[in-house]
Amino acid sequence: MREELFSLSGKVAVVTGAASGIGRGCAEFLHEMGAAVAIVDVSRDKGEEVALKLKDRAKYFFCDVTAEQSCADMVQNVIDHFGGIDILVNCAGVIRRKSVVELEEKDWDAVLDVSLKGTFLVSKYVIPQMEKRGGGSIVNIGSGWGIKGGPKAAAYCAAKGGVVNLTRAMAIDHGPQNIRVNCVSPGDTDTPLLRDEARQLGIDENKWLEESAQRPLARLGEPLDIAMAVYFLASDLSRWITGANLVVDGGGTA
């Protein structure tokens, strides 16, 4: 019984934004715990690199999560290859460090489309496939800035706040189909995205990382820290948890 609770053997996981950062960490850890993993990303080279590293039970699939037909095609390609989908991790995201006055419309659209619209579109096509399997688990990646505000991150805060509450709505709608929907909200995690924020703000990268680590646990998060929380919510260990938002931030929002 305990082995069944911990193992993801026989499960198929789809992870968006899996070519780097938190998405890659999630894909690698879910694979390590026994799942077959669809590495989904708009970056072909990096996505193929992750799939090649994992070798067995892993395959790269192209998807632009902002485009409905691309999402529909990706899900069908995953079904054709793996036969079904049990776990979905909606991790694809971008950030623009600007206030509403500084933002251009294209910046706003890019952030909202990837993080929020992408979560909607991929889920739209995955959920019917999960229902065919008798249920499943969706884990959306939010942010600490989805539950509180942050400076010069208006679009990102809006998108991640939307992801957190979309999670609750999806949990209500799809619980009767035995599909659990939860959210993991990371704090600052050492990823290419975090380092890109320093460049956007014109701050020295080392100084930025030091400042980002100033929280009760006195360090930056690592992709593995987030991946282990995602694994918990994806697995049967959390079989009576849905509509929850698990903050994983080293105490940053405490």
Active site residues: 156
Tell me how far apart the alpha carbons of residues 90 and 72 are, in angstroms, rounded to a whole number. 15
14: enclosing H helix or E strand: strand 12-16
Residue 202 to residues 153, 205, 238, 248, 251, Cα–Cα distance (Å): 15, 9, 41, 27, 26
Task: Give the span between the Cα atoms of 117 and 111, in whole angstroms.
Answer: 9
* Cα-based distances in Å from 3 to 8, 49, 93, 134, 161: 9, 31, 33, 21, 36
6, 33 contact by CB (below 8 A):
yes
Q: Are residues 174 and 127 in contact, defined by beta-carbon separation less than 8 angstroms?
A: yes
Per 3-state DSSP, the chain is made up of helix, strand and coil in percentages (nearest 5) of 50, 15, 35
Strand pairing of 136-141 and 245-248? unpaired
DSSP state letter for 29: H
The helix/strand/coil state of 69 is helix
